[in-house]
A and B are shown apart, each in its own frame.
Chain A
């Protein structure tokens, strides 16, 4: 460990900058988080617990988790497939595909929700046909799944594309040349190489799926105990002057976010460690 200074800034400048950054974090992240719990507990612990076990709040928690649980496998499937295609092959329309993957980031979630109303709503393109055959998509769970899927599409792919591009295809080619089948190569070579990146993307997508408000709000219909996710439930309780209920539900969301944050940190740490190990293990002839 050397004590040579990395820059020439005086000590007080560095301290000031650090203080500004930390103060900013405390003010804009720490304080609101604290406020959520203070408000939730404003009427005492029993009122807080009563608000949490309220059937409608419980249902909202379960529905949010269910939506995330269903959406995430699709994200993995799509993300890996898209990243694979983009990182390993050259084809016409590749840049178009990359742009399309980013589309959900560019489109406002509310607009995304409205697009699905235009497609599946009663006056939408497929609405009359769906209604005739008694399929309910909009204002029911399927619509909320579609909306969440749309919003969370980019996360896994965006995480994997640069990773797979830097890793290159040498190891995979080696596996195939040694007689591995496509699946063997995928399970034994590709997947182990990308697993932490994949998990990282899944965690981000999960956080977004749980917290999504705009798009889901448009297609939900807000039926209590049926199509109300946790973020929607928070807003409605607040609008009904039920502050304790609203902030109790918000505290569950905050806790889920904290769990996500911890998971994310662990994954980041493992990723970092693994790259370090790889670098250390690198045989000298390969470094050239």
Chain B
């Protein structure tokens, strides 16, 4: 062996040793804005689990903003290994562009949604107007605060919840649902720009009698405004809100992080992951964990978008795209 070859061998060995040392795999999780508390707790859990299982350190980065803005950024080149969103329409947007698998919902259990929530009412302390159910929101003389149904996840879920409730009432049909939701929308003095904006409108500007929002968000409101300021009312029937997760195939294949990304999302369904969901006031899928935290999740009858509307791919064009039911109802106003 001559000197040059030896040098090369030493160099490549050094490189071989050096590269893994500073090339710990890293995952970027692009997520919606209020998911931060959840993933701030979840990421260290996964890192510990993954280190114990494989001996590998994995770096985890988070990006949070409005969910529609986030998927747009991913489509424009934000290199997310995984997306964890608060509605299927946003992940569908990526599926249509070939960034995530078309059947992403089947790649993980429970429609690829590791936890759920539902839409509830926040009312002023003592519930002075006596809100009990969706029908109370459509009565004349009350003011309902919700984000814009056409372009926010919160707003869409609120809208569909009210629509589904009306359909399930005795004698309910498309026409009666349309009329019911129309009455409810007439009670909205404004449409907020997003969940946070709706909360500010209701809690800080003190506009409106009732705020429609995610059950999980009620706890965030309590954290900021104190528990003595409001009450949570559970309607008799509400919508099951799902939070789909997906691997961004294009990115993990390029970066070689598929294995870690897969494990990262799978671990959401582990006992630890499910407990973390419950601790962040998101309803766990795991029946045992749900039972353990039953006190904080009152039983409520729910329907999913799939059951009631045949999935978002049908609900979106029927209700929220231009010329959909929302446009028709709201123009009549």
Query: A residues bordering B, Cβ < 8 Å?
Result: 117, 120-124, 127, 131, 136, 138-139, 221-226, 236, 238-243
Contact = CB atoms under 8 A, between A and B. Distances in A.
20 contacts: A117-B76, A121-B76, A122-B76, A123-B77, A124-B76, A127-B76, A138-B76, A139-B76, A221-B78, A222-B64, A222-B70, A224-B61, A224-B63, A236-B33, A239-B196, A240-B33, A240-B34, A240-B64, A240-B220, A241-B196
Contacts of A139: 73, 76-79
B65 interface: yes
Interface of B: 28, 30, 33-34, 36-37, 61-66, 70, 73, 75-79, 194, 196, 199, 220-221, 223-224
Contacts of A241: 34, 196, 199, 220-221, 223-224
B314 to A, nearest CB: 27
A120 to B, nearest CB: 8
Contacts of B78: 138-139, 221
B61 to A, nearest CB: 5
Contacts of A122: 75-77
Q: Which 10 A-B pairs have the closest CB atoms?
A: A122-B77, A121-B76, A241-B220, A139-B78, A221-B78, A239-B33, A239-B196, A222-B63, A223-B63, A222-B65
Contact of B36 (A117, A127, A240): A240
Given A136-B79, A139-B73, A239-B66, 9 more contacts: A122-B75, A123-B76, A124-B76, A139-B76, A139-B78, A236-B64, A239-B33, A239-B196, A240-B37
Contacts of B223: 241
B61 A226 contact: yes
Contacts of B77: 120-123, 127, 131, 138-139
A121 B75 CA distance: 9
A131 B73 CA distance: 15
Nearest to A122: B77
A136 B199 CA distance: 37
A238 B62 contact: no
B221 A223 contact: no
Contacts of A221: 30, 63, 73, 78
A1 B82 CA distance: 73
Nearest to A232: B65
A88 B194 CA distance: 52
B72 to A, nearest CB: 9
Contacts of A224: 61-64
Nearest to A130: B77
Contacts of A238: 196
Contacts of A121: 76-77
B62, B221, B223: residue with the most chain A Cβ atoms closer than 10 Å: B62
B40 to A, nearest CB: 9
B34 A223 contact: no
Contacts of A225: 61
A267 B221 CA distance: 46
A127 B66 CA distance: 24
Contacts of A242: 224
A120 B78 CA distance: 11
A124 to B, nearest CB: 8
Contacts of B224: 241-243
Nearest to A221: B78
B75 A123 contact: yes
A196 B28 CA distance: 45
B254 to A, nearest CB: 8
Nearest to B31: A222
B75 to A, nearest CB: 7
A238 B195 CA distance: 12
Given A222-B64, A223-B28, A224-B61, A239 B34 contact: yes
Nearest to B221: A241
Contacts of B73: 139, 221-222
A236 B65 contact: yes
Contacts of A239: 33-34, 65-66, 194, 196
A40 B78 CA distance: 32
B47 to A, nearest CB: 15
A117 B76 CA distance: 7
Contacts of A223: 28, 61-63
A236 B64 CA distance: 7
Contacts of B220: 240-241
A240 B76 CA distance: 24
B34, B63, B76: residue with the most chain A Cβ atoms closer than 10 Å: B76
A13 B37 CA distance: 56
B59 to A, nearest CB: 10
A127 B73 CA distance: 13
Nearest to A131: B77
A223 B76 CA distance: 15
